[in-house]
Amino acid sequence: MISQKQLKGPDVFARTFAADEKSLSAIAARLEARAKHCFFQQVVDEYVNALELRGHESILDLGCGTGAIARMIASRDNCSGRITAIDISPYLVQTGKRLALEEGLADKIDFLTGDAHSILELQGQFDVLIMHTLVSHVVDPATVLQEARRLLHPEGKIVIFDGDFDSLTYATDAPDGGAETDRLQAIAGHTQGRVMRAMPRLLSDQGFSLEWSKAYVAADIGRADFWSSTLPALRILLPSAGVMSEREAGDYVDKLESSSLSNTFFASCNFYTMIARGMHVG
Ligand SMILES: C[S@@+](CC[C@H](N)C(=O)[O-])C[C@H]1O[C@@H](n2cnc3c(N)ncnc32)[C@H](O)[C@@H]1O
């Protein structure tokens, strides 16, 4: 049976089941900060609107992290159904529970720990399953989609939002323009850098019919904005992934931060949302 523990690469967001507390705390801070950014708020608004919810749907947020997306959806007026939020990291699940309690949403969200490759205790009870930047971190996206199909009602809907992380770039003044540091960031922060390009085919292979999609570019030009909350996390996560020493990561981030102060920062990545419905069989 495939499991996340078979992971070979250093992706820190994929190793949250075994990461140290310093790394997990940096991950939690980054997830919370980006969820509050207007770009992510717009993305979630757009896919929730595209789902045309009637209000009572049961929703699964798979790879929920601190539950930022589950909480965003639970606080919407048109979402009165139960939300289940699952992540492989007990630390992030605990953080999610605490934040849901603090925000008065604890009675709307059930948090569980589990591996998206096999959630054996659940079956076929969800109307909607959301993977908000999960698939770029899993060992085997096809198995995770197969599992999603099993967890959904036969004609339930899946929402996949993720980065096309092979397009992620932070420009630097190095002779290669940042190509090598981009490569190191790619392996330290993602496992499936091109998975969204394969997603229409992967969805079809698992019996889903693609219904809606939207493309985004998160580009900060001059000042760091969306990407600014990544910078403090990189100081901790690049050494924790073993791709840079603390000093190298510090120098790298210092330069990125000073380029933002001098209005010469450039970082960009493509993101996509895809919504698909289970195809009726038989
Ligand atoms: C980039 S974070 C996204 C978290 C959350 N969806 C958000 O957008 O705020 C990726 C999350 O996937 C989780 N994760 C990675 N592999 C997983 C797996 N096989 N099963 C469940 N969760 C997993 C990590 O623990 C991490 O919380």
Pocket probe mutation, ligand 1, options 15, 16, 69, 185, max atoms within 8 Å of Cβ: 16
Q: Is 80 exceeded by the pLDDT of residue 280?
A: no
Q: Is 90 exceeded by the pLDDT of residue 120?
A: no
Q: Phi and psi dihedrals of 162, rounded to 5?
A: -160, 165
Query: What residues line ligand 1, using a CB cutoff of 6 Å?
Result: 4, 13-14, 16, 31, 35, 63-65, 68-69, 87-89, 92, 115-117, 132-134, 137-138
Residues recorded for the chain = 282
Instruction: Kindly give the distance from the C-alpha atom of residue 20 to the centroid of ligand 1, in angstroms, as a whole number.
Output: 16
To the nearest whole number, what is the mean pLDDT of the chain? 96
Mean per-residue pLDDT, 26-33:
97
Mean per-residue pLDDT, 186-192:
96
How much is the pLDDT for 122? Answer: 86
**Residue pair 81/58 in contact by the 8 Å Cβ criterion:** yes
Q: Which of 26-30, 50-54, 119-123, 234-238 has the lowest mean pLDDT?
A: 119-123
The pLDDT-based confidence of 185 (bands split at 50, 70, 90) is: very high
Q: For the segment 61-81, what is each residue's pLDDT rounded down to a tens digit?
A: 999 999 999 999 999 988 889
Q: Is 70 exceeded by the pLDDT of residue 282?
A: no
The pLDDT-based confidence of 17 (bands split at 50, 70, 90) is: very high
Q: Domains of the chain, with CATH numbers? A: 11-165+192-216+271-277 (3.40.50.150)
Q: For the segment 143-171, what is each residue's pLDDT rounded down to a tens digit?
A: 999 999 999 999 999 999 999 999 999 99
Where residue 178 falls (left for φ over 0; alpha for ψ -120 to 50; beta otherwise) is left
Burial category of 68 from C-beta neighbours within 10 Å (exposed 0-12, middle 13-18, buried 19 and up): buried
Q: For the segment 77-100, what is each residue's pLDDT rounded down to a tens digit?
A: 888 899 999 999 999 999 999 999
How much is the pLDDT for 278? Answer: 96
Q: Is 90 exceeded by the pLDDT of residue 247?
A: yes
Strand pairing partners for 274? 160, 213
Q: Is 70 exceeded by the pLDDT of residue 3?
A: yes
